[in-house]
Amino acid sequence: MLTIPYLRSSREEAIERLAIKNFHRTELIDEILQLDDERRLSQHENDQILAETNTLAKEIGNLMKSGRREEAESLKARNAELKERSKALDEKLIQLKDQIQTMLVEIPNAPHLSVPRGRSAADNLIVHQEGEMPALPADAKPHWDLVAQYDIIDFELGNKVTGAGFPFYKGKGSRLQRALINFFLDKANEAGYVEVQPPLLVNEASAYGTGQLPDKEGQMYAAPLDGLYLIPTAEVPVTNIYRDVIVQEAVLPLKNAAYSNCFRREAGSWGKHVRGLNRLHQFDKVEIVQIAHPDHSYEALEAMREHVAGLLRSLELPFRIVKLCGGDMSFASALTYDFEVWSAAQQMWLEVSSVSNFESFQANRMKLRIKEKNGNIRLAHTLNGSALALPRIVAAMLENNQKSDGIHIPKALQAYTGFALID
């Protein structure tokens, strides 16, 4: 959530940045600022009234002690009027704060000025590409055929037990999943991330804190009787570790990694782009999260970007990095890099990671603050990234490494799988 001081002191910059996200509701910003002017005037009046009632209370006490009851009663009447006015102002302030809050959450995060303009993924900017694209024979199979051939993932069984988008992993498929999770967690640990194992459900305050609510209710699975939500990513519980916390500058950056199941009501119909592992309702992912000082958050973003690139190099997957345009970014992000791997049998790029800087947007919602060495208190910056999401990694790995004798496992992963070949 953007802050009132930012909108007030940098209105033109905010409007310029929000336009990159195709958000042009200038009148909403102005209405918020007008309501905040009214709030500040009401608060000032209320503060003056409270100061006067305190003074009157002392005067009334002195008059009563000296036996001047008539004068005291007159001041009591004045004091009662002031208290009624203060009560009315308190109610008005609550209403104004609620109005302002309701309107503020309609405004997305202002993107970094380097974010390219655009309306869809077609306008994203490719900033890096590396790795050789494998040349597969004409009879190469997509991963949904390969997993059936080697009996390592069963989509039909998942459909029977739960529904579409909830596959069963079997035999070497299960071991491959576990291997990737452990590999990603070990690499995160080497990079200084402290591992946590978070809950898979969060409350409304946590979902609000990271920006899932009220923007993404339709994409989340809910347990309404308990007021809980299944997590769409470990970002939500891990970032909320620091909700309502003041962090000392000396301990920054705070770095956490977490493996979790993720649950999403993904849109789409049956077809090449959503078939097999390309789009699931439940999937495994390792997430990395950083809490950084605002002066160093973009350095942290670049370090996270390089961490994800290193994972893809280790897995020997051709990949490219895409800077998202304003129209393709999330509501909460200030700058996002997507990582896509080449799926040779499908002849398409598959997104496997998003690495984002949210600046102070989430921190403002969560009241996550930094106490600087000089004693100043300011909002932290939050960042997160997939490192990595498993389904499309598995899809590309299976397709790109299929040979006549089976599917070859990348060398870096073999110590984790315990086998070098799926046959």
Residue 423 scores a pLDDT above 60: yes
To the nearest 10°, the Cα dihedral for 200, 263, 125, 17? -60
**% of residues, the chain, pLDDT over 70:** 98
Strands 153-154 and 168-169: antiparallel
Give the whole-angstrom CA distance, residue 110 versus residue 105.
12
More confident position, 411 or 217: 411
Q: What integer pLDDT is reported at residue 267 of this predicted model?
A: 55
Helical ranges in 66-142 per DSSP H = 69-104
Instruction: For 150-207, write each residue's pLDDT tens digit.
Output: 999 999 999 999 999 999 999 999 999 999 999 999 999 999 999 999 999 999 999 9
User: Is 291 within 8 Å of 369 (Cβ atoms)?
Assistant: no
Beta bridge partners, 408, equal 421
Q: What integer pLDDT is reported at residue 115 of this predicted model?
A: 98
Residue 266 scores a pLDDT above 90: no
Q: What integer pLDDT is reported at residue 78 of this predicted model?
A: 87
Q: Mind giving me the DSSP string for 168-236? A: EE-THHHHHHHHHHHHHHHHHHHTTPEEE---SEEEHHHHHHTT-TTT-GGGS-EETTTTEEE-SSTHH
Instruction: For 84-93, write each residue's pLDDT tens digit.
Output: 999 999 999 9
Q: What integer pLDDT is reported at residue 402 of this predicted model?
A: 97
Phi-psi sector, 66: left (phi>0), alpha (psi -120 to 50), beta:
alpha
**% of residues, the chain, pLDDT over 90:** 89
Give the whole-angstrom CA distance, residue 78 versus residue 274.
71
Instruction: For 328-381, write each residue's pLDDT tens digit.
Output: 999 999 999 999 999 999 999 999 999 999 999 999 999 999 999 999 999 999
Residue 217 scores a pLDDT above 80: no
Instruction: Tell me the average pLDDT of the chain.
Output: 95
More confident position, 318 or 76: 318
N- to C-terminal Cα separation, the chain? 51
Domain parsing of the chain, residue ranges:
4-104, 121-422
Q: What integer pLDDT is reported at residue 176 of this predicted model?
A: 98
The fold for domain 121-422 equals BirA Bifunctional Protein; domain 2 (3.30.930)
Q: What integer pLDDT is reported at residue 269 of this predicted model?
A: 47
Instruction: For 4-32, write each residue's pLDDT tens digit.
Output: 999 999 999 999 999 999 999 999 999 99
CATH number of 4-104: 1.10.287.40
- Phi and psi, residue 260, nearest 5°: -155, 160
More confident position, 125 or 272: 125
pTM for the full predicted model: 0.93
Q: What integer pLDDT is reported at residue 18 of this predicted model?
A: 98
User: Is 263 within 8 Å of 223 (Cβ atoms)?
Assistant: no
User: Is 211 within 8 Å of 240 (Cβ atoms)?
Assistant: no
Residue 74 scores a pLDDT above 90: no
Residue 317 scores a pLDDT above 60: yes
User: What Rg, from alpha-carbon coordinates, does the chain have?
Assistant: 27
Read off the pLDDT band of 218 (50, 70, 90).
confident
